Structure 1
Amino acid sequence: MVLVTLIGDSHAHIGNRFYYMGPNDECKECRLKNVCLNLETGSLYEIVQLRDTEHECTLRESNVRVVVVEKVAFQAAVPKKLAMDGSMITFESRKCDNLGCPNKRFCDPSNLTDGDKRSITEVLEKLECPKGENLVRVKME
Structure 2
Amino acid sequence: MITLIGSKLAKEGEKFIYLGELEECKDCKFKNLCHNLEVGRIYKIKSVRSTNHRCKIHLGGVKAVEVEISEIEAIIESKKALEGLSFTYSPILCDNSDCENYKFCVPQGLVEGDKVRVEKVLERVECKNNLSLRKVILRLI
Match of 1:95 among 90, 93, 96: 93
| Cα deviation digits, residues 70-89 of structure 1 (max 9, x gap) | 54311111111111111111
Q: Kindly provide the CA deviation profile for residues 97-139 of structure 1, in whole angstroms up to 9, marking residues without a partner as x.
A: 2233221111122322111111111111111111111100111
Moved more, 43-52 or 74-83: 43-52
How do 1:14-25 and structure 2 match up within 5 A? 16-21=14-19
What letter matches 1:51 in structure 2? R
For the residue of structure 2 that corresponds to 1:11, the secondary structure is coil
1:55 aligns with 2:53: yes
8 Å CA contact retained: 2:76, 2:134: yes
For the pair 1:85 / 2:79, whether they are aligned, the reply is no
5+ unaligned residues in a row in structure 2: which ranges?
Answer: none
Q: Against the structure 1 CA distance between its residues 95 and 6, is the aligned structure 2 distance closer, same or farther, given a 3 Å change threshold?
A: same
The one of 71, 74, 78 equivalent to 1:73 is: 71
- Please provide the CA RMSD for this pair: 3.0
Corresponding position of 1:139? 137
AA of the residue aligned to 1:123: V
Mapped partners of 2:20, 2:97: distance in 1: 31
- Report the secondary structure of 1:46's partner residue: strand
* Secondary structure in 2 matching 1:105: helix
TM-score of the two chains, using structure 1 as the length reference = 0.71
In structure 1, the partner of 2:44 is 46
Number of residues of Structure 1 aligned to a counterpart in Structure 2: 136
**Distance in 2 separating the partners of 1:36 and 1:64:** 9
Residues of 1 paired with 2:62 and 2:111: CA distance?
30
123 and 55 in structure 1: CA distance in 2 versus 1, 3 angstrom threshold: same
TM-score by length of 2: 0.71
Q: Aligned-pair distance for 1:42?
A: 3.7
| Aligned with residue 102 of structure 2, among 94, 101, 104 | 104
1:23 Cα deviation from its structure 2 partner? 7.7
What is the percent sequence identity of the aligned residues? 36
Q: Which runs of 5+ in 1 are unaligned?
A: none
SS of 2:90 mapped into structure 1: coil
Deviation of the 1:65 alpha carbon:
1.0
